[in-house]
Structure 1
């Protein structure tokens, strides 16, 4: 017989949105059960091993105090526990890896510990119960309300039934939306549906962005750490998108903005340099010169590169068997690229192959050097009371405007360019400027179901605007808004949609958010938009 647990809220998915939603609700006095299929919390930041992709002003303007606390905690953990040099320890903007994509490139296991520390006071007080290694099985609904979910304890092989008046879907691809029969979409909409400049001529649910199975490695010249050749290596090493200038396993890429050939080698010079335009420095998560001499034998870098984008098969909306097959192929794709780098890749010194590259599963919590989970760039999205369109945030789509649409029901802010990777239909990248934007409450409200909210990239966006709303800081803000909304609605005895429908309730809720340290609008909004209009991108033009 299945054990039963109850709380004010059940959060399915322990990624950044799920963690943020849990913390927000717990701060407001609610009890929460947080469910995660893996042993690590943190999603794209940890289990998927993607260093934070953030807007350029993150060090001076944080979307919320709680996200700033997460970033501070990561730096503080390095200062308290790891053998930094004195100069690194004293640096207020310590970047442990000195990577180029973020001012806080760091080892994923550190973020895991910090997230656990943030949750610890609420766990100790009995407000939060974390169920790791629990997989969602199904959902039970009564009309327009979700009543319970059933989960499988992968450790004990027991079943648990979790009930609550409020549920949050923070799964990576919107699994709870499907199981609870919440109206949703996936894949690409058409221009006829959304009138977006960059939407497809015809809708295609199976036109989905590539996933990437990230890996971590260091480099020990003179040593040989060559992995076994993957079984499908000979086919994969010559695989080529029709829109690319050559095989995917190459240093020649399709530029993600211009679509012209672009050289991006592993190294272009000294591997100890602080900032070089190559793959090694893009997502370097540990720079050995930040640490006491001899403590790190090498830098450690995180590989999440265009050559590793797996686009052959879609992940969402297919059978479980087809999904499992595609995920395994994505793993093999990344291993095959790593083997190519070790054995065949043109070297910066004129040779061939880097056998000294070594997989570092220890920093990812795995035995094989790959991340615990694939990096998912899109999934199911709710059909919402309000859907964010390119016309609301895109620079080209708003030629006469000085910023993004201002939403009266804003519950947070975010900023990132619209970034779509190659698709499972072989389409090339879409990378266009977007203004710093707000998160409208209407995008968190399903059109029918009363007590389920999204907490990550499953909110009411299109496939186009998902490309701006899916990154780390914005996902955290979406989760914080949903967790706070669930707690506020429970306290008022109202469904979440009533908060948006009532001006007084909405104003009260926005004051609650602001009291928690959430920004609802960009400060000095006009001062930021000129930077954005000319194309805000990281200095090296990287993307995830």
Structure 2
């Protein structure tokens, strides 16, 4: 029996989707399947990745009454705050004091508070909200269930599921269907969370059953409803930009070359092998008595890397309480390095996420985690049936070993790679929390998935002012004034003039025309105001740089020189719709860390509330586009000319409690210095 599939036909101005008569899907994809799909599921919005951005996309789609399919490689919703273990909300004081967040993020915070009776049951000092990852998953699952009921939508939730293949129309502009693989434990096999990701990821992307997993093949398709616009939307909210890589749309990875838009770049040219480091988190519990500690067999390989990093941080209690996620009793008040905190007491649980600890920071073509396009081609992952997740499995394995070694260093180590001898002392009154019922929900004790700080980032479509593709850059958000000798000496004269003109705000034209000297132009004190803003965020530009040598744990290894130059404070910033629309494919949207940002801007556009805001925007845009039979790119095609449909979308976001701008946002407002 032949199935019905869509063929996309396009005019220069609009995308017209027509139902063809009894066409079979892409033959190469079908040939790669070992059997017919076990089931076919209809979706209006397919969300790939169940992190915070994916949950937010689903949340808004359900409230809009849409049928949402949500896939996730792990069995937990929440990404950063659950399966990745970083359950400490990164927030800025002013935004937090005003409670100026998306409605779903506010609901999440409120549910955390109601769960524990307070927002910070861990009494951590890095955040005002530190909590247990498992509880985050349960809270988000209930939020989606309630949104489904309130909005009369329908959620199809696929845990332990990966996207294996896409069927894309002959002209390359519409994703017609997706093939997913869902895994469950094989008969007699242990729990799916028994082994670390490096042991199971290649199996998860294989169609064949194994000794670990039984697989179900699922075809995800749109409803077959005739329309003059895309029938469904696929939203890539994965942690690494999986779908943009699999669909082979243009994207960036790692360092962007130095330019007037990215003046603090550590390299004059692009370097795709140096994204920010990633981290396998783990939870450890303070105990009353010393615990037996077993040295991992690979410890000596990684121990030369570990350090408290700075003298003001060289205190075990300070590090333990930094991201303490559970504290049943209050310890005595301590102070170290200018930071006040309550000392650990037996039963306290700390989540570890430390730069010179369980961060793993590869930076070369020999060990990079996220394969480049060239590496994907070389490994056959862009061929039909060849996709295996786009990650280097060996680097995952070494990051897992590094994290377990860091735990042992914390409790038994006596060396410090940055501060020398005599600084680190053993702390045996602690234990690593392992088991299915542990905070990380794994037998091995590490997070189910590593915390990813940077992903593949799309290059948006050509736009006015950015003919090579839209992006959000360092100078769009940074508070730096760039009026120092480094930039004068490092940047060519013409590049420096363009930099100062871009920062001059209302005086930009005068600087370009030479009527005002670059050094005399007033530096604007705000972020770039985007006419197509659909979300907001605020956080510092925070770096965890890659290392120079391979492997990262090489004794004496150094961070990539200049990588931290771009770090510093940022103004409150916006999420432009153009940053969420990839080139080539009309029914693909991007949320989370894969929107069109630069390497430096991405260091701020990666935290919890931003991810939620980007997801809320994606879910709203998808539902709006379906309702109004308009493709998202058509909402921004005529910018900077007024676009009534774009304004209707922005009004809908605001009415729904999803801000698109901070209070008093205007090109005339120069009072952003007050935002902390």
Pairwise TM-score range, normalised by the shorter structure: 0.7 to 0.9
Identify which of 218, 228, 237 aligns with 1:160.
218
For 1:350 and 1:479, how far apart are their aligned partners in 2? 44
Identify which of 515, 521, 524 aligns with 2:655.
515
Other structure's SS at 1:191 match: coil
For 1:22 and 1:42, how far apart are their aligned partners in 2? 12
What does residue range 179-198 of structure 1 map to in structure 2 within 5 Å? 179-192=246-259, 194-198=261-265
Alignment-derived partner of residue 190 in structure 2? none
Shift in CA distance, 102/195, structure 1 to aligned 2, threshold 3 Å: closer
Instruction: State whether residues 413 and 424 of structure 2, in contact with CA within 8 Å, keep that contact through their aligned partners in structure 1.
Output: no
Alignment-derived partner of residue 72 in structure 1? 110
Identify which of 155, 166, 174 aligns with 1:145.
174
What does residue range 38-49 of structure 1 map to in structure 2 within 5 Å? 38-49=74-85
Shift in CA distance, 61/350, structure 1 to aligned 2, threshold 3 Å: closer
Alignment-derived partner of residue 85 in structure 1? none
Identify which of 300, 306, 319 aligns with 2:349.
300
For 2:176 and 2:592, how far apart are their aligned partners in 1? 21
Other structure's SS at 2:61 match: helix
CA deviation profile, 1:202-246 (whole Å, cap 9, x unmatched)? 2111112111111111111422141x32232112111xxxxxxxx
Instruction: State whether residues 49 and 371 of structure 1, in contact with CA within 8 Å, keep that contact through their aligned partners in structure 2.
Output: yes
Instruction: State whether residues 524 and 670 of structure 2, in contact with CA within 8 Å, keep that contact through their aligned partners in structure 1.
Output: no
For 1:280 and 1:209, how far apart are their aligned partners in 2? 23
> Is the aligned partner of 1:219 residue 2:286?
yes
> Is the aligned partner of 1:249 residue 2:306?
yes
Q: What are structure 1's unaligned runs of at least 5 residues?
A: 80-92, 239-247, 254-260, 269-277, 537-544
For 1:528 and 1:130, how far apart are their aligned partners in 2? 44
Instruction: State whether residues 10 and 166 of structure 1, in contact with CA within 8 Å, keep that contact through their aligned partners in structure 2.
Output: yes
CA apart distance, 1:424: 4.4
Deviates more, 1:16-25 or 1:356-365: 356-365
Other structure's SS at 2:392 match: helix
Shift in CA distance, 290/117, structure 1 to aligned 2, threshold 3 Å: farther
Alignment-derived partner of residue 265 in structure 1? 314
For 2:346 and 2:259, how far apart are their aligned partners in 1? 56
For 1:184 and 1:117, how far apart are their aligned partners in 2? 35
Identify which of 44, 50, 54 aligns with 2:91.
54
Shift in CA distance, 234/9, structure 1 to aligned 2, threshold 3 Å: same
Alignment-derived partner of residue 453 in structure 2? 377
Shift in CA distance, 147/204, structure 1 to aligned 2, threshold 3 Å: same
Alignment-derived partner of residue 427 in structure 1? 560
Instruction: State whether residues 41 and 115 of structure 1, in contact with CA within 8 Å, keep that contact through their aligned partners in structure 2.
Output: yes
For 2:108 and 2:90, how far apart are their aligned partners in 1? 14
Shift in CA distance, 337/159, structure 1 to aligned 2, threshold 3 Å: same
Alignment-derived partner of residue 231 in structure 1? 297
CA apart distance, 1:286: 1.1
Alignment-derived partner of residue 204 in structure 1? 271
Alignment-derived partner of residue 82 in structure 1? none
Shift in CA distance, 346/376, structure 1 to aligned 2, threshold 3 Å: same
For 2:587 and 2:330, how far apart are their aligned partners in 1? 47
For 2:607 and 2:239, how far apart are their aligned partners in 1? 12
What does residue range 399-418 of structure 1 map to in structure 2 within 5 Å? 400-418=523-541
Instruction: State whether residues 185 and 383 of structure 1, in contact with CA within 8 Å, keep that contact through their aligned partners in structure 2.
Output: yes
Q: How many residues align?
A: 489
> Is the aligned partner of 1:506 residue 2:646?
yes
Other structure's SS at 2:452 match: coil
For 2:79 and 2:601, how far apart are their aligned partners in 1? 21
For 1:182 and 1:442, how far apart are their aligned partners in 2? 15
Alignment-derived partner of residue 37 in structure 1? 73
> Is the aligned partner of 1:393 residue 2:477?
yes
TM-score, length basis structure 2: 0.69
Q: What are structure 2's unaligned runs of at least 5 residues?
A: 1-35, 185-213, 223-231, 332-344, 380-387, 417-421, 462-469, 482-502, 504-521, 549-558
Instruction: State whether residues 368 and 395 of structure 2, in contact with CA within 8 Å, keep that contact through their aligned partners in structure 1.
Output: yes
Other structure's SS at 2:268 match: coil
For 1:300 and 1:520, how far apart are their aligned partners in 2? 37
TM-score, length basis structure 1: 0.85
CA apart distance, 1:37: 1.2
Instruction: State whether residues 62 and 153 of structure 2, in contact with CA within 8 Å, keep that contact through their aligned partners in structure 1.
Output: no
For 2:181 and 2:471, how far apart are their aligned partners in 1? 33
For 2:457 and 2:66, how far apart are their aligned partners in 1? 26
What does residue range 74-153 of structure 1 map to in structure 2 within 5 Å? 74-79=112-117, 94-123=119-148, 127-142=154-169, 143-153=172-182
CA apart distance, 1:472: 0.6
Identify which of 394, 405, 411 aligns with 1:336.
405
Shift in CA distance, 345/133, structure 1 to aligned 2, threshold 3 Å: same
Instruction: State whether residues 63 and 412 of structure 1, in contact with CA within 8 Å, keep that contact through their aligned partners in structure 2.
Output: no
Alignment-derived partner of residue 395 in structure 2? 326
Alignment-derived partner of residue 17 in structure 2? none
Instruction: State whether residues 489 and 499 of structure 1, in contact with CA within 8 Å, keep that contact through their aligned partners in structure 2.
Output: no
Other structure's SS at 2:525 match: coil
Instruction: State whether residues 359 and 368 of structure 1, in contact with CA within 8 Å, keep that contact through their aligned partners in structure 2.
Output: no
Other structure's SS at 2:98 match: coil
Alignment-derived partner of residue 541 in structure 1? none
> Is the aligned partner of 1:360 residue 2:398?
no
Instruction: State whether residues 48 and 72 of structure 2, in contact with CA within 8 Å, keep that contact through their aligned partners in structure 1.
Output: yes
> Is the aligned partner of 1:449 residue 2:585?
yes
Shift in CA distance, 126/49, structure 1 to aligned 2, threshold 3 Å: same
